[in-house]
Chain A
């Protein structure tokens, strides 16, 4: 087909990188891919950075959120939209200070629901001490948008150079929490199987309590930081491996996954590493700091954080992510591609 956009183009996998390359990266001249001295679309990272006097940087990230259904166990699209952009700024080493939101809503959408969504967004921003400084509000005729989409732009300040992801051989990979919970909840809900959810709720939350102290204290130890949203853990690790030309080796047994998520993944035949998290950080940490950093993360209340693997130099296997399986086998962790859909066979 080729000439039409498919859902796969928006699933955060191989196809999306291809379409972005085709639409943007190839067309924008190098000098206009960033502000001089900053970070822009010259590197595909969480956010952009613009240098300001005093060795500091403005960090900006913009993201459009659509989620079906807009209300899901553990949150709603408002919480998701605010947390998501805040997290992108945090993962770049910035402390978020302000947010703008653009809401497009479908004619006929209940105002009460909209109130709930906006209220929860505002409450979250208050807790995060992030100002809501602007936005837009539009209504589309019925059927021209699926209920609601929210675009948020988060702005933050980084006191040092931004964290541009560049894992180096020897680094250890840390995940801060159980993975895949948001993805599992959404997938089950969309399939009409929310009765199978049990206690499981989305993990959507801002990661300020983790990232802000961590970055202030250990910025030099962090070579990469990312929240594994679309594309999941597999997406982040594969992107790191291929962009930095390294091999990333992890141990399946060390990756924290809660039983219900594992069960959902089993039932639907999807790899839990592909399921999105909306409140988890994946970090690449220099080997000399790793123990101290992990201990500190635990102290911050992220008790499930653990080292799941390490970065290796490899001529033959650069760009690969390999996992030792629980029974001692070996497999390649693939990058996500296509839409995440359940398998029958």
Chain B
């Protein structure tokens, strides 16, 4: 499946502790230099991609950072930002006898309101709906053509996922009974918005650097992030997903900050080019049109979503089943009252800033989506606590060994 060389490279980037320590030491040195010179105690770097956040948590990178250098997660999970409305629509379809195909985390995603007693597709399934978890659109296509029943695939994702959907349509891989419900989102608008918000009411330090999504950039090319570096004057590093990739990307951000530069740099050179995958871009353009789209808890962001063009409407679940689209007029904050998930998602507030956090909103009785989703920032904080928690844990483990 993978070349030997690739596996070797992966091993190096994942397990080479000495290399990691060397990068870590440089990060500590540069941070001290920068924070001393600029007189800042805290510096925020935003990662933007669910998989980066996963690597950071899974490999414990936060525990390796100097105190004051904070890694915050941006709105980089295409699942967490699906508005409650569309989940409700999908649950409704599933109860109307449509076979609904979803990724595992979409399957678990909770809506704000229940539809016939189900808050999620997984609950709909326990109540008798036919909901099936799949790993990609082609397996949904194979399965749907085997039974021929009316079916919908919930096409969630960022720029990375879009080409697969586009090709499934262009190459005629979709059986007539399977329609796509496209909820694809585009990342640059959300990044602009996060940076914008991080500068309003600066109770918190603004974002000083961005770890840009690696997979997305293989499609869009690193060039997509130039406006971020130019308009906001902050370094952007397109990063790979192994722990050493992320460490090197953080180091590059600090290097630029120390040197007073703000550029787009590709760390993930083994996959990402400056211009990206032009063929994929054009396939996506042929099939999809760009629309203003709603992000859960955030609201409508201009030109931030993809819907299937009229030419291909025979594949479009929205056209076929009259799925109601969320309109800016209908937009209500699909967050419970008092919940600051939206700001947490944007890296603007920490969970501890929210009045509900660990008071009325806990992992066992979650209120906001940041707590509901197991990968939501609040859920992670509830379990791991803050940086202090990790430091203390490290001390305790270090003491005895």
Contacts and interface: CB of A to CB of B under 8 A. Distances in A.
Contact of A330 (B49, B125, B394): B394
Interface string A312-328: 10101100101111111
B58 A271 contact: yes
B78 interface: yes
B117 interface: yes
A324 B393 CA distance: 11
B59 A312 contact: no
A7 B79 CA distance: 21
- Sort chain A's interface into a size bin: 35 or more
Interface string B55-72: 001111111100000000
B383 A330 contact: no
Contact of A268 (B51, B119, B135): B135
B108 A338 contact: yes
B349 interface: no
A329 B243 contact: yes
Contact of A327 (B16, B390, B396): B16
Contacts, number: 148
Contacts of A326: 14-15, 17, 59, 243
Most buried by B among A320, A322, A324, A325: A325
Interface in A252-276: 253, 259, 263, 268-269, 271
Most buried by B among A3, A249, A337: A249
A327 B127 contact: no
A259 B17 CA distance: 19
A193 B134 CA distance: 10
A192 B126 contact: no
A300 to B, nearest CB: 29
B118 interface: yes
Interface string B173-194: 0000000000000000000000
Nearest to A344: B103
A342 B79 contact: no
A172 to B, nearest CB: 12
A324 B16 CA distance: 14
B77 A193 contact: no
A316 B20 CA distance: 29
Nearest to B123: A1
A339 B63 CA distance: 29
A192 B394 contact: no
Nearest to A170: B400
B58 A331 contact: yes
B61 A329 contact: yes
Contacts of A193: 135, 139
Contacts of B61: 329
Contacts of A253: 15
Interface string A168-204: 0000000000000000000000011100101000000
Interface in B373-390: 374-375, 383-384, 390
B135 A331 contact: no
A3 B127 CA distance: 11
Contacts of A133: none
Contact of A332 (B114, B117, B247, B384): B384
A337 B122 CA distance: 14
B143 interface: yes
B80 interface: yes
A63 B397 CA distance: 37
B1 interface: yes
Interface of B: 1-2, 7, 14-17, 20-21, 24, 49-51, 54, 57-64, 76-80, 103-108, 114, 117-119, 122-123, 125-127, 133-135, 139, 142-143, 156-157, 161, 243-244, 247, 374-375, 383-384, 390, 392-394, 396-397, 400-401
6 contacts: A192-B134, A247-B396, A269-B54, A312-B397, A316-B396, A345-B77
Given A325-B243, A327-B17, A343-B104, 18 more contacts: A1-B118, A6-B122, A7-B126, A192-B139, A249-B401, A322-B397, A325-B58, A325-B60, A327-B16, A328-B17, A329-B60, A330-B393, A330-B394, A332-B383, A338-B374, A342-B135, A344-B156, A345-B375
Ranked 5 nearest A-B pairs via Cβ: A329-B60, A341-B104, A345-B50, A327-B20, A344-B103
